[in-house]
Amino acid sequence: MPTSDSGLRVAVVTTHPPGKGSLNEYAFHFVRYLRTKPEVREVVLLADELPAGQRYHFATAEEDCELEEGCGLAPVRVETCWRFNALNNAPRILAAVRQARPDAVLFNVQFASFGSGKVSGALGLTAPALVKLAGYPTIVLLHNIMETVDLKSAGFGANPLMERVIRLSGNIVTRFVLAADLVALTIPKYVEILAGKYRAQNVLLAPHGSFEQASAAPDLDPPPGPLQIMTFGKFGTYKRIETLIEAFRILLARPGSPPLELVIAGTDSPNAAGYLAGLQAQSADLPGIRFTGYVAEEEVPRIFREAAVAVFPYTSTTGSSGVLHQAGSYGKAAVLPKIGDFAEVITEEGYTGEFFEPGNAASLAAAIARVIDDPEHRRALGRQNFIASSGLPIADVVDWYLLHFEELRRSRGGFETRPTKQRGARGGKP
Amino acid sequence: MKMKWRLIGKIAVLEPIGRFDAHNAPAVAEALTEARNSSLKDAIVNLEQVNFLDSTALATLVQGMKHCRQLGGDLHLCCLQQPVRIIFELTRLDKAFDIYETEAEALHAFAG
């Protein structure tokens, strides 16, 4: 059972940089702000195993005064306790939680977080139920729901019969996830679906939040040089760049085309190993295309700042887009797929862009052209996206989770962790 | 959005009017800060005349509540219209705030 003295010890089950699993970027920012909260005394990162030679690194108490967040960050303890595609992740996570004895546990997951295989993916998602049954207040931040995932595009469901089987399995897995104390979703529609279909009473809306704190408006113009058309993410499942490369060919072939560069920033999705290498080989004849490979956290700002436009070559949606929030925070115009759910979500969040038909290179090229050919329009789109990204920083979203944890603990008879005047035992900010 | 604020004893009472969203949340945040700077640790936000609020508005109220609690006080909400109440329920922030049907009840709760 959890134990506490002063402040919360929060365990976060997630991927995290330098790990390259999906949602690592979200976890990076979530943990970064979680550490700044006076209610939090320690963060226990229950992360996936890293390849040999890599390790998780967090600033020590001495180092943290040099960070932008300042002194007094809650310390982070890392326990690597699961491995992508392993079948025993749930019991390993439970054992790690028992060892860490946190006051609350947050799972930062989506349906394929624990494996590309159906069995490993599903078994991993039983972990929240096990952790809750063990007596730990448990919230699952579920970034997508099975009901809206295009299984074919997401790398599952090679045939219709298999897709039906997976959907049925998905319903069962969803029920396991819903066994957590609370399930947080980033889109109102997802809350409606789970509340309606599963009669779930424990689902709630928690906005995605923007990664950076609101700041002065960024430079809306890219640096001199070729206009960079940039896409960012983990590719090969529902983020596919074949159409984007074709669109780039169309743009280059236009008479009087300005100098252009296509920047593919990121890596393969864990479910699509070798995808980018294959396309890089196929497009070797194309001038101006650059594959960056993995983008380290400190390189992310430069990648976005240098871009003239951010393109989202999605074939289906899996909820709100962290990349769009990032693009917004750098004041970038966006070119977005016309997929009902996605358009609805980003419009609700105040973002905008030029839209294209998924899979249609001519439509994508035209959408990009509308942005890069009209600097005023590009700036206007970037400005609106910046305003949208400034709306609700993830730092505020973290506060919502802490309130939910507090409420869960109160309902279980735990002591209250209302913010105190001081930053608690670890001292810190004035 | 217009906003009125007044003092009842040592309790600041804010009354935003109309849409409460990213564009006008700073005005509410400013009023809460002003109350805090005046050493007022308790506040009521009367939402009777608010017909819409967004996530930024919710975040503003959460920050206001946190700051009041840091001072040993609290921030109560009252008089929620149905569309506004639904947003609190959707986010489950209705569990985090002390919400009252009337301003009198919200005031009375501070007395208790």
Each residue's pLDDT tens digit, A201-218: 999 999 888 776 656 678
Residue A428 in domain: no
Residue A427 in domain: no
Q: Domain of A187: which CATH number?
A: 3.40.50.2000
Place of tokens 């995808």: A275
Query: What is the predicted pLDDT for the residue at B39?
Result: 87
Residues A382 and A401 in one domain: no
Is A351 a residue whose pLDDT tops 70? yes
Query: What is the predicted pLDDT for the residue at A422?
Result: 36
The answer to whether the CB of B3 falls within 8 A of the CB of B16 is yes
Is A320 a residue whose pLDDT tops 80? no
Check if B94 contacts A (Cβ < 8 Å). no
Round to whole Å and give the CA distance between A197 and B75.
36
Residues A197 and A282 in one domain: no
Give the side-chain half-sphere CA count within 13 A for A43.
Answer: 27
> B69 vs A419: CB contact, 8 Å cut-off?
yes
Pick from A389, A404, A424: which residue ends a domain? A389
Residues B67-89 have pLDDT tens digits of 999 999 999 999 999 999 999 99
Query: What is the predicted pLDDT for the residue at A397?
Result: 95
Looking at chain B, the whole-number percentage of residues with pLDDT higher than 90 is 73
Looking at chain A, the whole-number percentage of residues with pLDDT higher than 70 is 87
Check if B95 contacts A (Cβ < 8 Å). yes
Check if A196 contacts B (Cβ < 8 Å). no
CB contacts < 8 A, A to B, total: 54
A46 strand-pairing partners: A13, A79
Query: What is the predicted pLDDT for the residue at A155?
Result: 57
Q: Which of B39, B90, B97, B98 to mutate to test the interface with A (most CBs of A within 10 A)?
A: B90
> B62 vs A400: CB contact, 8 Å cut-off?
yes
Residues A41 and A122 in one domain: yes
Residues A252 and A289 in one domain: yes
Check if A407 contacts B (Cβ < 8 Å). yes
Which of B22, B71, B93 has its CB closest to that of A403?
B93
A208 to A87, A308, A403: CA distances (angstroms):
29, 24, 16
User: The tokens of A251 are what?
Assistant: 């743009």
Residues of B within 8 A of A182 (CB-CB) are: 92
Residues A42 and A79 in one domain: yes
**Exposed / middle / buried, residue A25 (Cβ in 10 Å: 0-12, 13-18, 19+):** buried
Query: What is the predicted pLDDT for the residue at A117?
Result: 82
Measured at the CA of A96, the angle between CA A93 and CA A99, to 5 degrees, comes to 155
Residues A192 and A274 in one domain: no
Between positions 346 and 375 of A, the ones with CB within 8 A of B are 350
Is A169 a residue whose pLDDT tops 80? yes
Residues A183-192 have pLDDT tens digits of 999 888 889 9
Between positions 19 and 78 of B, the ones with CB within 8 A of A are 22, 54-56, 58-59, 62-63, 66, 69-72
Residues A42-95 have pLDDT tens digits of 999 999 999 999 999 887 656 665 555 556 789 999 999 999 999 999 999 999
Residues A68 and A50 in one domain: yes
Residue A401 in domain: yes
Residue A420 in domain: no
Residues A119 and A258 in one domain: no
Complex ipTM, two decimals? Answer: 0.93
How many domains are there within chain A? 2
> A421 vs B71: CB contact, 8 Å cut-off?
yes
Helices (H) and strands (E) in chain A, counts: 14, 13
> A403 vs B62: CB contact, 8 Å cut-off?
yes
Query: What is the predicted pLDDT for the residue at B36?
Result: 87
Round to whole Å and give the CA distance between A168 and B57.
39
Least confident of A67-76, A289-298, A354-363: A67-76
Is B48 a residue whose pLDDT tops 90? yes
Between positions 2 and 21 of B, the ones with CB within 8 A of A are none
Query: What is the predicted pLDDT for the residue at A63?
Result: 66
Query: What is the predicted pLDDT for the residue at A213?
Result: 63
Residue A429 in domain: no
Query: What is the predicted pLDDT for the residue at A429?
Result: 31
Residues of A within 8 A of B62 (CB-CB) are: 396, 399-400, 403
Residue A243 in domain: yes
Round to whole Å and give the CA distance between A418 and A413.
14
The answer to whether the CB of A289 falls within 8 A of the CB of A245 is yes
Residues A302 and A399 in one domain: no
Pick the more confident residue, A379 or A390.
Answer: A379
Residue A258 in domain: yes
Residues A280 and A350 in one domain: yes
Residues A325 and A249 in one domain: yes
Residues A175 and A306 in one domain: no
Average pLDDT rounded to a whole number, residues A375-393: 88
Residue A156: band (very low, low, confident or very high) from pLDDT cuts 50, 70, 90: low
Query: What is the predicted pLDDT for the residue at B80?
Result: 97
Give residue A377's domain range: 227-389
**One-letter identity of residue A159:** N
Residue A63 in domain: yes
| Residues 6 or more apart whose Cβ sits within 8 Å of residue B109 | B76, B98, B100
Is A3 a residue whose pLDDT tops 60? no
DSSP 3-state of A246: helix
Round to whole Å and give the CA distance between B109 and B112.
5
Pick the more confident residue, A187 or A171.
Answer: A171
Tell me the average pLDDT of chain A.
Answer: 87
Q: Which of A186, A189, A205 to mutate to test the interface with B (most CBs of B within 10 A)?
A: A205
Is A1 a residue whose pLDDT tops 80? no
